[in-house]
Copies of this chain bind each other. A is one copy, B any other.
Amino acid sequence: MRPNVAVLGAGSWGTTLASMCARHGPTTIWALEDEVAREINARHTNSLYLQGFELTPALRATRRVEEATEGAKVVVLAVPSPYFRAVLGQAAPFVPKTVPVVSVAKGLEPETLLRMTEVVAQVLPDNPRAALSGPNLAREIIAGYAAGAVVACHDAEVARHLQGVFNSGLYRVYTTHDVVGVEAAGALKNVIAVAAGMADGVGVGDNTRALIITRGLAELTRLGVAMGGEPSTFAGLAGLGDLLATCISPLSRNRHVGEQLGKGRKLEDIVGEMRMVPEGIHTCRLVLEIARRHGVETPIAREIDRVVHGEVTPLEAYRRLVRPLPGPESQ
């Protein structure tokens, strides 16, 4: 039997992760919406965020945070980055100091530009903190397909412990100590995914799509290393792996928004149809601000930000991105 796990957040990924954990030990998921919690308990489904999949029957759901965290030996935060601090703050009084807090959110806190484990450090300074990331499209994992991920923690022992908590069947978890790299990659890749989706929408072809993802990885690595991450992390599962899954899969929300923008639709209309807001949209401006502070050039993020704010059309943005740059190739 594995330790009790509390998953806070019942979107597609939180639900998938909780359902996997519930196969191996007591697991409780906190849902914002009462009807989601009820449905998970009564019917073992989450039709709002994960339609068409059966969840592990042993998974318990609640909309009371204190109930979810009661007795938990691991707490997982699976809420979008803008709501991360608020939900963690609700849970904090019920989480003992020894319990590791694991972020699976991919983004930065809007006002502070903090990474999610930095928010954990402010709210629960004594708890071990970690980030779980990788090419993890929820619908494929809940369907039982193979996938890999990394759990990042400064403490190698905690990392190994969490590896044992999250490993499940064909979902294989590796460890790393590079928390900054994993979180930076997770936040920045969504912006590149919007750009790759836009390439599809505009219809610029696979050569250009490959070029944008390649330059996107270089941009992400440049900024992530400036933030303190290690170069090899960006070439791994949490970097290139997650970037690729997000850039090529029809299941990716960020890619979808980019594609629809590329087809000439308005951002409000696209987002209005979606249940979950894609992080890439609001992350874009945050990335630009961080890049400015570190003195790093991020041309893709800059162009996507202009498109998102209606300053240029997607086609104009693409023309600028593939504009001739004479001389040697630079990373």
Residues of A within 8 A of B (CB): 134-137, 140-141, 143, 145-148, 150, 163, 167, 170, 172, 174-176, 204-211, 213-214, 217-218, 221, 232, 235-237, 240-242, 244-245, 248-249, 251, 318, 322, 324-329, 331
In the complex, besides A134-B207, A218-B235, A248-B248, 15 extra interface pairs with C-beta distance below 8 angstroms are A135-B207, A137-B205, A146-B204, A146-B207, A147-B205, A147-B208, A147-B211, A174-B325, A174-B328, A176-B329, A206-B248, A210-B249, A213-B244, A221-B235, A237-B329
**CB neighbours of A240 from chain B (8 A):** 210, 213-214, 217, 240
**CB neighbours of A172 from chain B (8 A):** 322, 324-325
**CB neighbours of A237 from chain B (8 A):** 211, 214, 329
In the assembled complex, the Cα of A240 lies from the Cα of B172 at a distance in Å of 24
In the assembled complex, the Cα of A134 lies from the Cα of B322 at a distance in Å of 14
In contact, B329 and A211 (Cβ under 8 angstroms):
no
* Nearest Cβ on chain B to A267's Cβ, whole angstroms: 24
In contact, A217 and B235 (Cβ under 8 angstroms):
yes
Counted per complex, copies of this chain come to 2
In the assembled complex, the Cα of A137 lies from the Cα of B5 at a distance in Å of 48
In the assembled complex, the Cα of A279 lies from the Cα of B96 at a distance in Å of 58
In contact, A145 and B205 (Cβ under 8 angstroms):
yes
Given A214-B244, A236-B329, A244-B214: A324 touches B167 (CB 8 Å cut-off) = yes
Given A214-B135, A214-B236, A235-B217: A327 touches B204 (CB 8 Å cut-off) = no
15 A-B interface contacts by CB (under 8 A) = A140-B205, A140-B206, A143-B205, A146-B322, A147-B207, A147-B211, A172-B322, A174-B329, A176-B328, A206-B245, A210-B244, A210-B248, A217-B235, A235-B235, A236-B329
Q: Which 9 A-B pairs have the closest CB atoms?
A: A147-B207, A206-B249, A135-B210, A210-B245, A174-B329, A210-B244, A145-B205, A214-B241, A140-B205
In the assembled complex, the Cα of A170 lies from the Cα of B324 at a distance in Å of 8
Chain B residue at minimum C-beta to C-beta distance from A221: B235
**CB neighbours of A325 from chain B (8 A):** 172, 174
In the assembled complex, the Cα of A208 lies from the Cα of B249 at a distance in Å of 11
**CB neighbours of A205 from chain B (8 A):** 137, 140, 143, 145-147
Chain B residue at minimum C-beta to C-beta distance from A152: B329
In the assembled complex, the Cα of A17 lies from the Cα of B206 at a distance in Å of 18
In the assembled complex, the Cα of A322 lies from the Cα of B174 at a distance in Å of 12
**CB neighbours of A176 from chain B (8 A):** 328-329
In contact, A146 and B208 (Cβ under 8 angstroms):
yes
In contact, B210 and A322 (Cβ under 8 angstroms):
no
In contact, B211 and A248 (Cβ under 8 angstroms):
no
**CB neighbours of A214 from chain B (8 A):** 135, 235-237, 240-241, 244
**CB neighbours of A150 from chain B (8 A):** 329
